Structure 1
């Protein structure tokens, strides 16, 4: 297991290095100059040159890349061009919103999808299966930002059970969790629909295997065979989707955070792009890439724990 994990860690490090180079190059070739944006179109050339020197934008691209990469390895993401504040501190503040939101949405998605998928698979072709599949089709088809606006209209404006947006801070934990409830539901239900379909399909594939038929021949009911032998073997594709979903929930909640006015990573990226704050864009995107790769690594370890045969193949 340790050898397998070490190989995956080497692959993770190489992926991060390649990703950092791609992110830097993509951001660098984007049109526009941060110094010109900050000073406006009427800025004098000497003032513009002084600001570029202060921000380090006059250095060669290779030197700036190595400086940025070295800083990230020591936890220094640089200083925001716009806010003149350390990017690491800005990211830490925004993670206090985005990370709990992603975790809450993932817990909701799993809590809905696992029972629904297992229930549908155990009653294949029945009324319950039809209802679950119809609900998941609707969940996949509805855009989450449109669903988020419906939640605001119903629960915030009409029923007044929740606020329409904003985040009060974790000094008020009950109010903070309440402010994340609607965004988490808006993020979770489409993901739960996808996860339910994957869980059902995976279980149905497993229920057709020879070892399930053998278990049934020994006297186990279909439900007993499903819980004792089918569920663990069906988890591998489900774990893949779970890893991808967590990465999406952490990195892809930009629109939801805009709808609910949440000061998370999504809004930070959006604001940094509009303000040409390149160092913030590079650092936050790199952090999100790291999160995706790290979750993939943990998913691979979960594969190996669920099915030891995978360790012997790699």
Structure 2
């Protein structure tokens, strides 16, 4: 097990290095001068040159890359050119919105998908199975931002059950914060639940066709008992893959939903950084999200080994 984890850690570190280089190169290739953009058309060359020196743009690319990565290793993500505050403070404030939103959406997705997938697999070829497959296909096809606007129309404008946007802050209490995140979490969760339910159904159907399941049934176990005691654990391996990918997608891919609901999260911070040409914010937050994706992938690999001992022996 220790060798398995060590190999995955080496892969994680190499992936982070490659990702940091790719992000830095892409930011470097963005056309235009950030200093000139921030000062406007009427700025003098002297003012632009002074701002470029303040932003560190006069250094060479290698020096800027080493300064950036070295700062991130010590927790220093630089200072935002627009907000004039450390990027780490911006990220810390926005993370308390994006991380609960991601966890909320992932919990809803799992709570919906697992029983629905179990129902479809246990009723394969029956009306319940066809209904589940049709509903999940619709859930995958509908864009989440359109579904988000529909939720706002129904639950915020018509029925006035949940707020239509904004975030009050956790200092106002747990319930106001959860109310503000409910509609965005549902908009993010339903498409992901549709994917997860289909994967759960396929994995269970494949597992239920194995010889050991037929042996368990022959020994007197009911279909429900054979699913709970034997099939479900083996069917969880592909489901765990999708859960890891969904967490990464929900954390890094909620830019549109956060803008629809005016949530001050990481996705909205990236969007604002791009529009304001605050490149240090963009590259630092994107690198942080890449680290989260790679870390979740690493944890999923470790969970594989815990669920399936064959991976540890391999």
Q: Which residue of 2 aligns with 1:202?
A: 203
In the alignment, does 2:300 pair up with 1:299?
Answer: yes
Deviation of 1:119 after TM superposition, in Å, equals 1.1
Q: Which residue of 2 aligns with 1:23?
A: 23
Q: Which residue of 2 aligns with 1:4?
A: 4
Q: Which residue of 1 aligns with 2:78?
A: 78
Could you list the per-position Cα deviations for residues 59-91 of structure 1 after superposition, in whole angstroms to 9, with x for gaps in the alignment? Answer: 101000000000000000000111111000000
Matches of 1:261 and 1:103, distance apart in 2: 19
Deviation of 1:26 after TM superposition, in Å, equals 0.5
> What is the root-mean-square deviation of aligned Cα atoms in Å?
0.8
> Any residues of structure 2 matched to 1:233-248 within 5 Å, and which?
233-248=234-249
Matches of 1:132 and 1:248, distance apart in 2: 24
Matches of 2:58 and 2:16, distance apart in 1: 26
Q: Which residue of 1 aligns with 2:218?
A: 217
The answer to whether the 8 A contact 1:136-1:193 is kept is yes
Matches of 2:247 and 2:221, distance apart in 1: 36
Deviation of 1:220 after TM superposition, in Å, equals 1.6
Q: Which residue of 2 aligns with 1:191?
A: 192
Q: Which residue of 1 aligns with 2:96?
A: 96
Q: Which residue of 1 aligns with 2:141?
A: 141
Deviation of 1:225 after TM superposition, in Å, equals 1.2
Find the residue that maps to 2:221 and give its secondary structure: coil
Q: Runs of 4+ in structure 1 displaced over 4 angstroms?
A: none
Q: Which residue of 2 aligns with 1:267?
A: 268
Q: Count the aligned residue pairs.
A: 313
Q: Which residue of 1 aligns with 2:130?
A: 130
Matches of 1:161 and 1:234, distance apart in 2: 38
TM-score by length of 1: 0.98
Q: Which residue of 2 aligns with 1:288?
A: 289
Deviation of 1:155 after TM superposition, in Å, equals 0.5
In the alignment, does 2:239 pair up with 1:228?
Answer: no
Could you list the per-position Cα deviations for residues 212-264 of structure 1 after superposition, in whole angstroms to 9, with x for gaps in the alignment? Answer: 11112222222221111100000110000000000000000000001100000
